[in-house]
Structure 1
Amino acid sequence: MHGFPKTMLILGGIITLISVIAVGVGYGSVFSSIADEDDANLKLIWTGTAPTSWDASELESGWVYIYSSTDYGDDVEVTLIGADANNFFVSCETQDSCGAGISKDTGEFVRYLGELEYSTTTQTRLVEFNGTGEIEVYQETLGELEWSMMTAGFGVWGCCCGVLFLIIGAISAAAINDNRPKLVVLQQPVYESGQYVQDSSRINQVQNTAPTIEQEALAYYQNLLHQGHSIETANELTEVYFPNWKK
């Protein structure tokens, strides 16, 4: 097998094998993450005590969730300086989701104030907190479920690439085999009537019509008789040239 088809087949097999393993690991982790209801993917990135402000201009793209540890969420008012179509604050009242609970990071009783959404970096993105209370800002990160789904997705993509390489290698190997020169076996020519005969049908014809030794001996014996030799003499002379002659 030539180098290119062999390389494609080996590479395709390796990629397919690794991808199948990735798919198995990824989907296995997905089911495990779904079964685990305590798979939190919020990361505490900033805390402060109102009244205060937070410079969020370095954030690139995404959103953050803002909570207040005061007993009454209405005691803290959030204002975004530099708000535009790509950077804005959405209050919990707008979302109808002003819930409360215990923070896993601080253990404090917190109320949800809203979320800051942003899609580009900007020189001015200042979040002001007016009122009283402890402020906690959380950013959503890729949890185990998301990483598992990404692993499974890359595994599926890798399987497709591996199978494609295998197909290319198989087609290339078949094409190279078809283009190999055919081995032609030439028959030895037969000498007939002062010339060599190469055609296979003529060779068979010449070989089939060639006299046998017995026929040549008989013809020689009969020729001696026509020349006037006796039967005994003809037998003796024929045995000289044809030792196996028996009459």
Structure 2
Amino acid sequence: MHIMTKVTLGLGVALLIGSVILAVIGGGSTVADLAENPNGVEVWSGTAPDTYQGNFDVMGSYFVFVEDGETVDVTLVGGDVDNRFIPCEEEPNDCDWYDWAGHTYVGQIVVFTPGTWEVELNGTGGVVLTEQVVDIGGVMSIFGGMVGFCCSFCVIGLGVIFIFTLKDNKAQQGVMMVQQADGTIQPVGGMPMQQPGGASPLVGGAVHPAFATEQPTTQPLQQQTSQQGQILPPIGGQQPPNQGF
């Protein structure tokens, strides 16, 4: 398998696992907060008619509940189209969406300008204002996990394409053959590969062209010195024997 294919597939799998972990951690914290406080956390309670002044955050949802059988009119002082009280009748969900024993959900206050706001409560009965703030870290973790999850499949798909398009071109390794003094042929640093007159040496896993055909073996020539007819010099002043002349 080509090195680029291995790197791409490994990166895709790592991105997939990391994205799943990130989404699970972020989603787990967000879901845990909603499960613990489905109606929000109480920030103020009183009896209408009354007023409440406090800090409102753009990422928060502020729900208004009234005691069962009572009615209340809610007004955000100084509000406009973006900063106002939204009755439950105008929301996508009905007024029974939030279930709180002994209380009735009447609507929520929405602000796009964070800061201190004053709320007027006209009517009768007890009123409770709750706050539910969105966990930015959890939401970002979920979003990042979803994006990474999608990107991981793109990277893995690219790695699959590389499997069929990239080939692993292994470099051919050459072997240097050296003839020893005793006639043995062996690779450098290796064991003897061929005896004289034996099998052809292999180079890169194949027979070298020079040894494709059987080469006749040559035997070393032995030189013989003939001593016949050779006249030896005199030894110790002696004359050579009479040759019959």
TM-score by length of 1: 0.47
Q: TM-score, normalised by structure 2?
A: 0.47
| Structure with higher RCO (Cα < 8 A, 6+ apart) | 1
